[in-house]
Amino acid sequence: MNKKRSVLQISLFAVIAGILLGFVVVAITGRSPFNMFVALVRSMTGFNLTKPSQGINVTYILNWFLNTMPLILTGLSVGFAYRTGLFNIGGEGQYIVGALAASVVALTVKLPAIPHTILCVVAAMAAGALWAVLPGILKAYKNISEVVICIMMNYIAMYFSNWVVRTFLEIDTKTNARTIGFPETAGFGKVFANNPSNFNWGFLVVVVCVLIYWFVIEKTTFGFSLRATGFNKESARFAGMKVERNIVASMAISGAFAGAAGAVVILGIFKYGRIFSAMDNYGFDGISVALVGMANTPGIVLAGFLFGLLKAANTNLQLFNIPMEISELMQATIIFLVAIQYGIILLLDKFDNRKKKGEVVTEGGAAK
């Protein structure tokens, strides 16, 4: 069985099964599956099936895109590391320090509008990359699991960010729970100024990062070297590749994508420095996006839109008295089925082998 095709089929099956389970649970709880369908369609198209005379409300589509942007970036983060044999579960911490770096530059540096915003994004990506370098170094030179280090560094990032914001940035005295607002020069403006949605020009950062991911991992000798290291470190070393350097570089680039997600959220939605009381979970959601998208560029983008839709649908679901936990249930089901995909592939391969053996025996008997 073609392994790549099997993974694609299982990903599609996981998505369909997760959505169908959501409809089943809604029906079991006495609510209308049709209303759930209406909510999902409205979140994706802006069209209300129950009131077609209202036409299309573009705000719903823009909110879908807005929810998708950071998910694609954290998906790229996890996917890049995954393609090179690493599991970056530290995307949340890298996202947080990226948001912190963007906040510091926004509030302490004075520049014209476009250069100021660009510098904030570059600072966020650099911070995310640096935060990911330590797990990369420990993995490369000490063979310490990057998963363990990244989990610890997620919490360090959150508390470190809160300390920096409270100690060095100007706090808004009205709330005492955030900084003052960013200057207008340091932020992503709304693409459609007259629309209530916060969909902003940060989507350009997403587009650029997607192109960088695709070009580096698929079209460069450096990307080939990274993938070869992930496939078999000893073979890559025997071929003359610098394995340790590749591991550190892979984690750094992975962290840069997560840092970009932090910049897009803080500069485009909040527009002030945050004091985190809990994690936003964008980094963890990126794991789901990367796995469902099979860590390749088109797959990550499509998976990002899928999970962005499920997040954006929460408001519409509640309008029909459908708990938002239904959306989380669908996401969890999809993630679970994708996570066990290789076990499913083994079972399918075993079934195919038995089928082929049966055909051989039948042919042998017929020949006699």
Lowest-confidence segment of 127-136, 182-191, 272-281, 332-341 by average pLDDT? 332-341
Residue 16 lies in a domain: no
User: How does residue 4 score in pLDDT terms, banded at 50, 70 and 90?
Assistant: low
- Amino acid present at 146: E
pLDDT at 1: 47
Residue 309 lies in a domain: no
pLDDT at 365: 58
User: How does residue 355 score in pLDDT terms, banded at 50, 70 and 90?
Assistant: low
Residue among 266, 272, 263, 269 at smallest CA distance from 98: 263
Task: Return the higher-pLDDT residue of 75 and 230.
Answer: 75
Average pLDDT over every residue of 79-88: 92
Residue 153 lies in a domain: yes
Residue 27 lies in a domain: no
Is-contact 199 61, C-beta < 8 A?
A: no
Q: For residue range 213-237, what is the model confidence (pLDDT) as tens digits? A: 999 999 999 999 999 988 888 888 8
Measured CA to CA in angstroms, residue 12 lies from 18, 38, 68, 193, 342 at distances of 10, 22, 19, 37, 14
User: How does residue 368 score in pLDDT terms, banded at 50, 70 and 90?
Assistant: very low
Residue 260 lies in a domain: yes
Q: For residue range 315-326, what is the model confidence (pLDDT) as tens digits? A: 888 888 888 888
pLDDT score of 364 more than 80:
no
pLDDT score of 5 more than 80:
no
Output the DSSP codes for 336-363: HHHHTHHHHHHHHHHHHHHHHHHHHHHH
Task: Return the higher-pLDDT residue of 78 and 321.
Answer: 78
Domain count for the chain: 1
User: How does residue 342 score in pLDDT terms, banded at 50, 70 and 90?
Assistant: low
Residue 145 lies in a domain: yes
Average pLDDT over every residue of 55-74: 95
pLDDT at 362: 60
Structural domain harbouring 293: 63-301
pLDDT at 104: 97
pLDDT score of 347 more than 80:
no
pLDDT score of 357 more than 80:
no
Residue 30 lies in a domain: no
User: How does residue 155 score in pLDDT terms, banded at 50, 70 and 90?
Assistant: very high
What mean pLDDT, rounded, does the chain reach? Answer: 90
pLDDT score of 267 more than 50:
yes
Residue 92 lies in a domain: yes
Express as a percent the part of the chain with pLDDT over 70: 91
